Structure 1
Amino acid sequence: MLIVTSAPPTLHRTRRFGLVDLATVVALAGLLFGVLQLGREWSGASRPAIVIDLSPWALPRYTFYSLSRGLLAYVLSLAFTLTYGYWAAKDRIAERVLVPLLDILQSIPVLGFMPGLILALVALFPHNNIGLELAAVIMIFTGQAWNMTFSYYHSLRSVPDDLREVAAVYRFSWWQRLKWLELPYATLGLVWNSMLSMAGGWFFLMINEAFRLGDRDFRLPGIGSYMSVAVDQGRTDAMLYAIGAMTLMIVAVDQVLWRPVVVWAQKFRVEEGGTQEKMSSWFLNWLRRSRLLAVLRQLGRRVGTRLARRRAIRPGPTTQPVAARQPAAWLGVILLALLLAALAFGAWKLTHVLRRVPAVEWGTLGGAAAWTLGRVLLATALGTL
């Protein structure tokens, strides 16, 4: 008797392109269109003060512009964090300069960077909007980068000794140590601090997108300038529209970007003992149902596998730990010398500026500084309660 068996239907069933893939294609097309519009806005003729449309129908476009500046500032902050934090953690001599300098930079308010930064970039790009856009991005950057850099620096300094010994036994190079040990160990803290830093960048959005220097009015299309014009004109309805758009943008960024990243970063958790609540993301689960993204992931894995095969075979473990190779020491010395030279030049220029301040003004500045210090100390005391 011949018995013919067949596998369950689920084994032969393959995912087909469906609504998830259609939505993914539409989203990618919309993103591409938005990037083209953003490039057109940046490369357009210089318009220091544009007319802001207070219609609620203009808010989606303004929201996209503000979100783009925030994301560009975050990319810049992340690059700065990975470079500056690594340098400060690995170079003991440079650490004595870099860490105090970072502490000073995070104490300077956004308004302290604004005048010189805007005038310099506008003069550098006088015929298009690149200067103003870069100034806005960099000012948002100053509200994001410092917290992320301190987090990454402390994570690199607190890698457990047993993990360092494993890396030494396997003779990791500095790049392998960074890729397989230090970055994974610092990922979770960096993700949480990235969320806080991204939120901190929105606080000064009105100042970053609409500001005045003397008799010159600089304005960029965005939620911040929309809110600024609404406040100037006393338009309560427009203020409410802007608050609603800002709220929707923050919630969307949290659900579409940060929540999936937080769920993904849980695999780098190193705490021992105890039970951790399993986190999930509806958007991440939704993306995992996409056939299109699955095909792209498979192609990426194949390319990665082929590239890995071409690399030299990594040596196996040895019984004697071998010190990991670090980047050339002379590179750190040169960078530190350039940084110190830049600081000295800035201090020399600042001295020339301060010489022009009348003696009477110093008393006014001292009193204002005392009031500011008192407010900061009071806020710190209230925050510790």
Structure 2
Amino acid sequence: MNVGTARPPIWSYWIVLPGLMMVWAMTAGYLGSPLLPGPMEVLDTLVRESSSGQLWMHLGATLSRVILAFSLAMLLGTAIGLVLGRSRTFNALFDPLLVLMLNLPALVTIILMYVWFGLVEAAAVMAVVVNKIPNVAVTVREGARSLDYRLEQMASVYRFSLWQRLRDVWMPQLFPYLMVATRGGLALIWKIVLVVELLGRSNGVGFQLHMAFQVFDVSAILAYSLAFIAVVQLIELAILQPLENRSSRWRQPESVHA
């Protein structure tokens, strides 16, 4: 059994999450402070915001930014990673810039985008994309460096076009690296999007967190945070984990029956 790639079963969530809820409820009841509302109070806020339509409007705004920024970052980062991984010249030229971008704080990028382009939607999305592209590029570059040269020779013998090489030779080998970039990218991008919304947008979960912070409404802060975490977790369970299992299926040996 390949325990290195095994992920916790779904039923483990039904054990851990109720346990965390119980600890939360007991702690909130013991403290009796408005700074730590209990689960039922947060649920009431969640239901109220959902019924008014505010929750869905702001969730939709944030999710649309996440999807757009994620798609652009993955496309551009993958292309850059392939070029750097396949060309020593380009890698030598642009590796210092890549290292610089990896170490540039996200907050600095966000502020610069807003200063240069104004408090507009394009600047918000661009700030997120610029922060994520280097991470994708580095991951894909490592995958491009590890491509099997024997398959490259086969592609040359059969005179594969660039599209055929990409589809039939490179992508199957790069798929595990792309999954690493995808899962890490989603976890990073939605957090950056919240900061972008907090600093310069008039809608979205980040904006609502900012408004709740102004009046110390901890219940609203937790309600919106948990709602979006639930959406991201649903994407993880319904899309990313099945894709990851598919990417690692070839590594698992066939079952041997007695």
Q: Which runs of 4+ in 1 moved over 3 A?
A: 263-267
TM-aligned CA deviation for residue 201 of structure 1: 1.4
Aligned match of 1:56: 49
Q: Which amino acid aligns with 2:132?
A: Q
1:249 pairs with 2:237: no
Deviations 1:232-288 (A, max 9, x none): 210011112112212211112113332343344346x4x4xx5379xxxxxxxxxxx
1:166 to 143, 154, 168: 154
1:95 to 91, 102, 106: 91
Preserved CA contact (<8 Å) 1:145 1:197: no
Q: Residue 150 and residue 228 in structure 1: after superposition, are their counterparts in 2 closer, same or farther (change >3 A)?
A: same
Aligned match of 1:239: 221
Q: Which amino acid aligns with 2:125?
A: V
Preserved CA contact (<8 Å) 1:188 1:266: yes
Aligned match of 2:73: 77
Partner of 1:96, secondary structure, is helix
Uncovered stretches (5+) of structure 1, i.e. residues with no partner: 1-53, 123-130, 212-217, 278-385
Preserved CA contact (<8 Å) 2:65 2:193: no
d(CA) in 1 for partners of 2:254, 2:110: 44
Q: Which amino acid aligns with 1:256?
A: A
Deviations 1:64-89 (A, max 9, x none): 11111111011111111232112212
Which structure has the larger Rg over C-alpha atoms? Answer: 1
How many residue pairs match? The answer is 206
Aligned match of 2:63: 67
d(CA) in 1 for partners of 2:80, 2:64: 24
With structure 1 as the length reference, what TM-score do the two structures score?
A: 0.50
Preserved CA contact (<8 Å) 1:106 1:142: no
d(CA) in 2 for partners of 1:257, 1:208: 26
TM-aligned CA deviation for residue 91 of structure 1: 2.9
Query: For residues 219-230 of structure 1, what are the structure 2 equivalents within 5 Å?
Result: 219-230=201-212
Preserved CA contact (<8 Å) 1:143 1:197: no
TM-aligned CA deviation for residue 90 of structure 1: 2.8
d(CA) in 1 for partners of 2:78, 2:197: 27
With structure 2 as the length reference, what TM-score do the two structures score?
A: 0.72
- Structure richer in helix, relative to its length: 2
1:134 to 115, 122, 125: 122
Partner of 2:160, secondary structure, is coil
Q: Which amino acid aligns with 1:112?
A: V
2:107 to 111, 120, 127: 111
Output the aligned Cα RMSD.
2.3
2:116 to 117, 120, 131: 120
d(CA) in 2 for partners of 1:275, 1:229: 53
Q: Which amino acid aligns with 1:95?
A: N
Structure with higher RCO (Cα < 8 A, 6+ apart): 2
d(CA) in 1 for partners of 2:226, 2:113: 31
Q: Residue 233 and residue 67 in structure 1: after superposition, are their counterparts in 2 closer, same or farther (change >3 A)?
A: same
2:172 to 166, 173, 184: 184
Q: Residue 244 and residue 221 in structure 1: after superposition, are their counterparts in 2 closer, same or farther (change >3 A)?
A: same
Uncovered stretches (5+) of structure 2, i.e. residues with no partner: 1-45
Aligned match of 2:25: none
Partner of 1:275, secondary structure, is coil
TM-aligned CA deviation for residue 63 of structure 1: 0.9
Q: Which amino acid aligns with 1:196?
A: G
Partner of 2:191, secondary structure, is coil
